[in-house]
């Protein structure tokens, strides 16, 4: 599966920079970690802190029971996750696979959250058990969904990403409802390696060692996999079983780690990626160097976290944050390094194979519009009171509009914007799986917003919209720049989206660890708290959407022509660069407007255009109209449900949309596999 | 009255002209009079609120406001996160029949409107929603906790303003005076027992590795100042007045006593007992770990009193070498 690695097997030659980097990384991180101790203890006592302490000197006690176990656990976990990541990549033949991208960590987190809330006894009995169960659930879903596609690399990552979002959304739902009770889960979710005894390390090392040894034992048969499934089978290796076994061990490794120190994501992705970037070619090399680099990277991240917290006001900076900050650039760096030999799932389906019966745009549109109106009427009229459900008489709607109208209107408009943005992006990239959410365009908008919250700036809605638009445009521009050579296909786009998601995630983790209430507020916004929207804001959003819709009329021709390829388009008289730029800006504004209202993770930008195709709309204009209506309908429903399901509490509407959207996407993926 | 006199200005002799004018003038006068007499206006963080008479049906969207109302002897008609209040705030007691109107971060406007309040009390955390709330009922915005605010001063001011609005100003002043007296009394008790000398670290455990430590910019500092105690933690925290830190962050302050605010997790004391890091902590070695019942750190004025009494009791009673 790796063309370049097969070549390298015949002529193994390890570049010198790899060992050099690993040594520098370890020594540098260790030195940086030990540095703050040197004023208090001499070098010898710092080194000996790993095995002894002097009871009369509290600094020495502290070094032995707080610092040394922290360093040891960082190295241990880093090595374990680095190895697990490299094995995952090998098993799935996928340069982007890792426990993080397959949803294992999100699954483990979900398991622990559920157990904390509903079965604390189970948690007390064994924290590993629930984390492993959650991890297995996540990876099981990914495997089941992508089985038929023969684990086609990008499909696996897409499924993993969506399951990560999905489980993350479920997790958030619980955190939001029960926030005050789950203060520790916020920290745990952010990943903190703080230690105050050797106990966790002592518990962990035999497990990591045994799992690691088992994974290494699988190396020889795994190497056969490198020759491709067909030849491996003929050599007698039972490919399917081996893969399952290896993945099971990977889940055990990550879930064990997750249950003890919290979610330290991206080590398992960054370490193997770095090893490959630095020139590890053969399987042995990749496993070995990923393991070492994983340990070094995590220690570095943890040291940075420790330093950042002592430079600041002393409050905790979670290691999950710094790891994501280090991991993001490595992944971005890797973008240029990978050969694009894979396809995104949408790419392969040639339009001929995926053409539902054409339907009249008028009839379909009218049906959707009717449904939208019905939703509107029900949402305005039928509501749960503090005592009982009741219809609000139409004469009282003027009053009820205040608390039901603006949010509903804004939700519909956000849906319309996302439907349009999704269609635009799919057409621009020629890929039916592309969407603002999965490509990280919403993530770019959200990243800017998270930064604004972190810095504590108050800028109002218009400022938010402007900032979010900039973020979305930057993300989209970056993606287009990166992916241009590859004609918007394959890993580069996804990877870019992933890296942006990583950055956004790191900001979120920092806020989450710092305090429950602030985090709950931010999470409410991230998952689309439509209830905060005022009438003026809803109306100005309406104006903005109308203006953009006018702009889109002009965009239909360029969109149709661009699909024919740059050369044909320019020969037909289209100024390609300018057209692309214009479309980019439109898509960015649409995404940003929706993100400000509904948050970055609603999946509507993915589902709505897809629905439009399923409903038989193929030309650009028709797809856009139907997709806009479908998007509006989806979010109108989500908004209504968010208001009533746990009345008088409410869930963010975007969260509900993400749950529904996640299920729809997974269903679509499995259907796609069958076709 | 002047219509019959032939010598008066003809303009005023015409009853058709005088009557409406007089009415309007009288009406205007009345309106002005009643406005100055009854309707009062208070400035708040996002505008002003005018009330003709003391409000009867009040909805409180955070626990600081709920607490302030209950202290003034007014039961709100709706509160946010009702069940949490009973667990975390406890005092003053919230009657059971008060309906819940949703969570503190996302209350249900629908439920608020159904209660037909004549006053809503919220904080600037809900800033974007203030307009919507204003359309339901007059809304008073007061944030005890926001960037750069001094919680106790702000909470005092909120209590007094609410006292004015509800025509219970005297009560508000009594409450504040009582808190000052309590602080002074407890301070004397501490000094009498010689229990005021070492600084204290106020922490609540999040798990066996992390604590929230209460910072000098928080509400609890008022209690510490009032009792004449020093806070070991030198840094300002977030605007809620705490920092989330690893447990090792309290190690550099060997002089401090450790005050643990409940709730603590089951199994915490066993875990700590097994950790020499904890057992070697100077405060633990001196048996200066104290434990007190839950006190809501993000409340209004009352937690200051509650903490003062509990803290004094605990410090006088003497500490142990572990949490319970």
Provide, rounded to the nearest whole percent, the portion of chain A with pLDDT above 70.
83
Nearest-CA distance from A382 to chain B in Å? 12
In terms of domains, do A324 and A372 share one? no
Domain for residue A281, yes or no? Answer: yes
**pLDDT at site A190:** 77
Whether B20 is covered by a domain: the verdict is no
**Residue where a domain stops, chosen among B138, B173, B208:** B173
**ipTM score for this prediction:** 0.79
| 3-class secondary-structure state, position B208 | coil
**Residue B171, both tokens:** 């009560």
Pairwise CA distance, residues A418 & A415, whole Å: 5
Which two tokens mark A479? 């993606």
B149 and B214 in a single domain? The answer is no
Are residues A633 and A470 in contact, defined by beta-carbon separation less than 8 angstroms?
no
What three-state secondary structure class fits B321? coil
C-alpha span between A367 and A372 (Å, rounded): 9
Q: Is A529 on the interface with B (CB under 8 A)?
A: yes
Among A447-456, A664-673, B314-323, the range with the most confident prediction by mean pLDDT is B314-323
The torsion region of residue B299 among left (phi > 0), alpha (psi -120 to 50) and beta comes to beta
pLDDT at A528 over 80: no
Counting one residue from chain A and one from chain B, the pairs whose CB atoms sit within 8 A come to 173
Pairing of the two strands B257-261 and B200-205: parallel
Interface test with A, best of B212, B244, B286 (most A CBs within 10 A): B244
A544 lies in the same domain as A453: yes
Do B198 and B158 belong together in one domain?
no
Range of the domain at B141: 41-173
Query: Does residue B176 sit at the A interface (CB-CB below 8 Å)?
Result: no
Put simply, the chain B residues between 144 and 173 with a CB less than 8 A from any chain A CB are 147
> Per residue in A387-418, pLDDT tens?
888 888 888 888 888 888 888 999 999 999 99
- Asked whether residue A292 falls in the same domain as residue A370, the answer is no
Total tally of structural domains belonging to chain A: 2
CA distance A424 to A435: 9
Joined together, the tokens standing for residue A646 give 């746990």
Rounded Cα gap, residues A116 and A119, in angstroms: 6
Most confident segment among A375-384, A489-498, A596-605: A375-384
Q: Is the predicted pLDDT of residue A355 greater than 80, yes or no?
A: no
In a domain, A175, yes or no: yes
| A312 & A247 share domain | yes
Least Cα separation, residue B114 to chain A (angstroms): 7
Verify whether the Cβ–Cβ distance B206 to A183 is below 8 Å: yes
A239: in domain:
yes
Q: Is B18 part of any domain? A: no
Q: Is residue A487 part of a domain?
A: yes
Residues 6+ apart with CB under 8 A from A492: A335, A338, A340, A482, A483, A486
User: Which of B104, B210, B277 has the CB atom closest to A62's CB atom?
Assistant: B277
Selected residue of B206, B211, B263, B294 to mutate for chain A interface (largest A Cβ count, 10 A)? B206
Handedness of CA A262, A268, A269, A274 (dihedral sign): positive
**Within a domain: residue B148?**
yes
Domain edge (last residue) among B143, B173, B203: B173
Residue B4 domain-assigned (yes or no): no
Q: Do A313 and B277 touch (CB under 8 A)?
A: no
Q: Residue A457: closest CA among chain B residues belongs to which residue?
A: B147
Residues B59 and B93 in one domain: yes
The answer to whether the CB of B71 falls within 8 A of the CB of B302 is: yes
Residues A476 and A550 in one domain: yes
| Rounded-to-integer distance, Cα A395 and Cα A411, Å | 24
Six-digit token string for B126? 């809900």
Shared domain for B202 and B293, answered yes or no, is: yes
Binning pLDDT at 50, 70 and 90, where does residue A327 land? confident
Region of poorest pLDDT, from A461-475, A488-502, A524-538, B162-176? A488-502
Residue A181 lies in a domain: yes
How far apart are the C-alpha atoms of A29 and A23, rounded to whole Å? 10
Number of domains in chain B: 2
> Does residue A290 sit in the same domain as residue A434?
no
**Do B216 and B267 reside in the same domain of the chain?**
yes
pLDDT of residue B138: 92
- Dihedral of the alpha carbons of B179, B182, B188, B192, in degrees to the nearest 10: -140
Convert the pLDDT of each residue in A242-260 to its tens digit: 878 888 999 999 988 888 8
Q: Are residue A371 and residue A299 in the same domain, yes or no? A: no
Find chain B residues with C-beta within 8 A of A184's C-beta.
206-207, 210, 265
For B225, B253, B324, the CA distances from B199, given in Å and listed in that order, are 11, 9, 22
Task: Output A553 or B287, whichever has higher pLDDT.
Answer: B287
- Average pLDDT estimate for A77-97: 87
Phi, psi for residue A426 in degrees, rounded to 5: -60, -40
> Are A330 and A455 members of one domain?
no
Write the CB contacts of B324 (distance below 8 Å, at least 6 apart in sequence): B264, B269, B291
pLDDT-derived band at A296 (thresholds 50, 70, 90) equals: very high
DSSP secondary structure, A128-171, as one string:
HHHHHHHHHHHHHHHHHHHTTTTT-HHHHHHHHHHHHHHHHHHH
Residue A356, pLDDT score: 67
Give pLDDT < 70 ranges for chain B: 1-38
Instruction: Output the CA–CA distances (angstroms, integers) from residue A42 to A27, A60, B248, in the order listed.
Output: 18, 10, 20
Domain end: A338, A369, A390, which one? Answer: A338
**Is position B179 within any domain?**
no
Put simply, the answer to whether B113 touches A402 (Cβ < 8 Å) is: yes
Q: Are A83 and A212 in contact (CB under 8 A)?
A: yes
B8 within some domain: no
Q: How much is the average pLDDT of A25-43?
A: 90
Q: Same domain, yes or no, for A89 and A219?
A: yes
Q: Does A182 have pLDDT greater than 70?
A: no
Could you say which of A194, A514, A515 has the minimum Cβ distance to residue B246?
A: A194
Q: Is the pLDDT of residue A309 over 80?
A: yes
Q: What is the pLDDT of residue B7?
A: 38
Q: What is the DSSP string of A79-110?
A: HHHHHHHHHHHHHHT-TT--TTTTTHHHHHHH
B99 and B221 inside one domain: no
Give residue A648's Cα distance to chain centre. Answer: 31
Q: Are residues B212 and B156 located together in one domain of the fold?
A: no
B64 and B145 part of one domain:
yes
- Residue A157 within a domain: yes
> Which CATH number is A636's domain given?
1.10.3470.10
Higher pLDDT: A627 or A399? It is: A627
Residue B9, min C-alpha distance to chain A (Å): 52
Please check the confidence at residue A277 and state whether its pLDDT lies above 70.
Answer: yes
Q: Domain for residue B7, yes or no?
A: no
* A312, A338, A364 - which closes a domain: A338
For A485-505, what is the mean pLDDT?
A: 62
Contacts 24+ apart (CB under 8 A), A140-147: A141/A103, A141/A666, A142/A102, A142/A103, A143/A247, A144/A670, A145/A666, A145/A669, A145/A670, A145/A673, A146/A669, A146/A673, A147/A673
Cα–Cα dist A470/A489, whole Å: 24
pTM: 0.82
> Taking the C-alpha atoms of B118, B124, B126 and B128 in order, what is their torsion angle to the nearest 10 degrees?
100
> Looking at the domain assignment, is residue A33 inside a domain?
no
Burial A447-459 (b: 16+ CB within 10 A, else e): bbbbebbeeeeee
B127 domain-assigned:
yes
Contact A124 B266 (CB under 8 A): yes
Tell me, yes or no, whether A165 and A240 share the same domain: yes
Cα A391 from chain centre: 41
Does A521 touch chain B if contact means CB atoms closer than 8 Å?
Answer: yes
Q: Strands B139-141 and B119-122: what pairing? A: parallel
Domain match, A298 and A366 both: no
> Which residue of A124, A187, A196 is in closest CB contact with B244?
A187
Q: Do A266 and A328 have their domain in common? A: yes
Can you give the three-state secondary structure of A440-451, one letter per residue? Answer: CHHHHHHHHHHH
Per-residue pLDDT tens over the stretch A187-208:
777 788 888 888 889 989 999 9
**A386 vs B99: CB contact, 8 Å cut-off?**
yes
Q: B238, A648: Cβ pair inside 8 Å?
A: no
Write the CATH number for B107.
3.40.50.1980
Residue A348 lies in a domain: no
Mean pLDDT value across chain A: 80
User: For position B229, what pLDDT does the model report?
Assistant: 94
B97 touches chain A (CB under 8 A): no
| Domain around A108 | 78-338
């Amino acid at each position: 599966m790796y063309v370049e690695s097969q070549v390298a097997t015949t002529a193994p030659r390890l570049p010198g920079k790899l060992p050099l980097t690993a040594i520098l990384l370890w020594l540098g991180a260790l030195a940086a970690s030990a540095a703050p101790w040197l004023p208090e203890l001499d070098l010898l006592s710092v080194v000996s802190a790993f095995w002894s302490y002097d009871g009369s000197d509290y600094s020495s006690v502290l070094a032995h029971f707080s610092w040394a176990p922290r360093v040891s656990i960082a190295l241990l976990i880093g090595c374990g996750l680095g190895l697990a990541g490299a094995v995952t990549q090998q098993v799935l033949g996928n340069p982007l696979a890792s426990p993080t991208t397959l949803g294992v960590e999100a699954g483990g987190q979900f398991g622990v959250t559920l157990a904390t809330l509903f079965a604390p006894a189970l948690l007390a009995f064994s924290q590993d058990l629930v984390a492993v169960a959650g991890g297995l659930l996540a990876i099981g879903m990914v495997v089941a969904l992508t089985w038929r596609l023969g684990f086609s690399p990008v499909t696996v990552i897409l499924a993993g990403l969506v399951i990560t979002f999905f489980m993350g959304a479920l997790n958030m739902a619980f955190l939001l409802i029960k926030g005050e009770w789950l203060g520790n889960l916020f920290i745990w979710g952010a990943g903190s390696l703080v230690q105050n005894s050797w106990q966790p390390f002592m518990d962990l090392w035999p497990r990591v060692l045994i799992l690691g040894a088992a994974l290494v034992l699988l190396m020889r048969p795994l190497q056969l996999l490198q020759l491709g499934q067909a030849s491996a089978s003929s050599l007698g290796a039972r490919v399917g079983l081996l893969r399952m076994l290896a993945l099971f061990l990977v889940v055990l490794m990550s879930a064990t780690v997750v249950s003890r120190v919290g979610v330290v994501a991206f080590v398992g992705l960054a370490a193997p990626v770095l090893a490959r970037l630095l020139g590890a070619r053969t399987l042995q090399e990749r496993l070995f160097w990923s393991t070492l680099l994983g340990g070094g990277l995590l220690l570095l991240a943890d040291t940075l976290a420790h330093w950042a917290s002592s430079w600041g006001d002393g409050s905790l900076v979670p290691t999950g944050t710094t790891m994501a900050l280090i991991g993001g650039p490595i992944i971005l760096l890797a973008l240029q390094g990978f050969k694009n030999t894979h396809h995104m799932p949408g790419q392969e389906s040639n339009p001929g194979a995926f053409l539902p019966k054409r339907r009249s745009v008028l009839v379909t549109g009218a049906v959707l519009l009717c449904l939208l109106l019905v939703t509107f009427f029900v949402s305005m009229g039928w509501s749960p009171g503090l005592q009982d459900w009741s219809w609000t008489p139409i004469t009282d709607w003027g009053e009820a509009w205040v608390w039901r109208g603006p949010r509903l209107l804004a939700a519909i408009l956000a849906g319309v914007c996302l439907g349009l943005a999704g269609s635009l992006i799919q057409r621009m990239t020629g890929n039916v799986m592309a969407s603002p959410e999965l490509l990280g365009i919403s993530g770019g908008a959200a990243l800017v917003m998270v930064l604004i919250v972190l810095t504590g700036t108050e800028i109002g809605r218009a400022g938010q919209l402007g900032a979010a638009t900039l973020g979305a445009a930057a993300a989209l521009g970056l993606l287009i720049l990166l992916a241009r050579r590859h004609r918007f296909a394959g890993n580069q786009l996804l990877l870019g989206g992933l890296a942006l998601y990583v950055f956004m995630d790191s900001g979120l983790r920092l806020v989450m660890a710092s305090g429950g209430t602030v985090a709950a507020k931010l999470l409410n916004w991230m998952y689309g708290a439509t209830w905060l929207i005022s009438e003026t804001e809803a109306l100005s959003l309406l104006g903005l959407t109308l203006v953009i819709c006018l702009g889109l009329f002009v965009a239909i021709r360029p969109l149709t022509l661009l699909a024919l390829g740059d050369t044909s388009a320019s020969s037909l008289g289209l100024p390609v660069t300018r057209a692309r730029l214009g479309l980019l800006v439109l898509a960015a504004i649409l995404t940003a407007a929706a993100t400000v209202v509904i948050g970055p993770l609603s999946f509507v930008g993915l589902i709505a255009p897809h629905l439009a195709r399923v409903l038989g709309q193929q030309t650009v204009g028709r797809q856009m109209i139907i997709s806009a209506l479908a998007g509006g309908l989806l979010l109108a429903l989500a908004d209504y449900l968010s208001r009533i399901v746990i009345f008088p509490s409410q869930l963010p509407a975007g969260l509900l949309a993400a749950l529904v959207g996640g299920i729809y996407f997974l269903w679509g993926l499995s259907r796609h596999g069958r076709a | 009255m002047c219509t019959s006199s032939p010598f008066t200005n003809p303009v005023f002799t015409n009853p058709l002209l005088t009557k409406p004018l007089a009415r309007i003038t009288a009406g205007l006068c009345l309106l002005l009079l009643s406005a100055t007499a009854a309707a009062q206006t208070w400035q708040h963080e996002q505008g002003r609120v005018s009330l003709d008479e003391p409000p009867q049906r009040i909805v409180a969207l955070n626990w600081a406001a709920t607490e302030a109302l209950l202290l003034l002897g007014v039961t709100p008609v709706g509160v946010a996160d009702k069940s949490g209040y009973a667990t975390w705030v406890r005092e003053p007691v919230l009657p059971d029949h008060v309906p819940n109107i949703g969570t503190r971060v996302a209350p249900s406007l629908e439920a608020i409107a159904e209660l037909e309040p004549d006053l809503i009390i919220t904080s600037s955390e809900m800033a974007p929603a203030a307009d919507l709330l204003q359309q339901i009922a007059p809304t008073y915005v007061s944030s005890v906790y926001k960037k750069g605010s001094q919680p106790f001063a702000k909470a005092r001011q909120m209590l007094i303003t609410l006292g004015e609005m509800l025509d219970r100003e005297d009560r508000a002043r009594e409450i504040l005076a009582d808190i000052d007296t309590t602080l002074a009394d407890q301070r004397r008790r501490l000094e009498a027992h010689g229990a005021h000398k070492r600084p204290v670290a106020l922490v609540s455990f999040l798990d066996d590795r992390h604590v929230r430590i209460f910072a000098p910019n928080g509400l609890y500092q008022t209690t510490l100042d009032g009792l004449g105690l020093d806070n070991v933690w030198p840094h300002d925290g977030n605007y809620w007045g705490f920092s989330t830190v690893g447990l090792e962050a309290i190690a550099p302050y060997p002089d401090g006593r450790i005050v643990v605010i409940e709730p603590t997790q089951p199994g915490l004391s066993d875990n700590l007992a097994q950790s020499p890091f904890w057992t070697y902590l100077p405060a633990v070695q001196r048996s200066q770990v104290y434990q007190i019942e839950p006190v809501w750190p993000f409340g209004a004025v009352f937690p200051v009193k509650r903490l003062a009494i509990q803290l004094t009791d605990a410090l006088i009673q003497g500490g142990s070498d572990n949490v319970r």
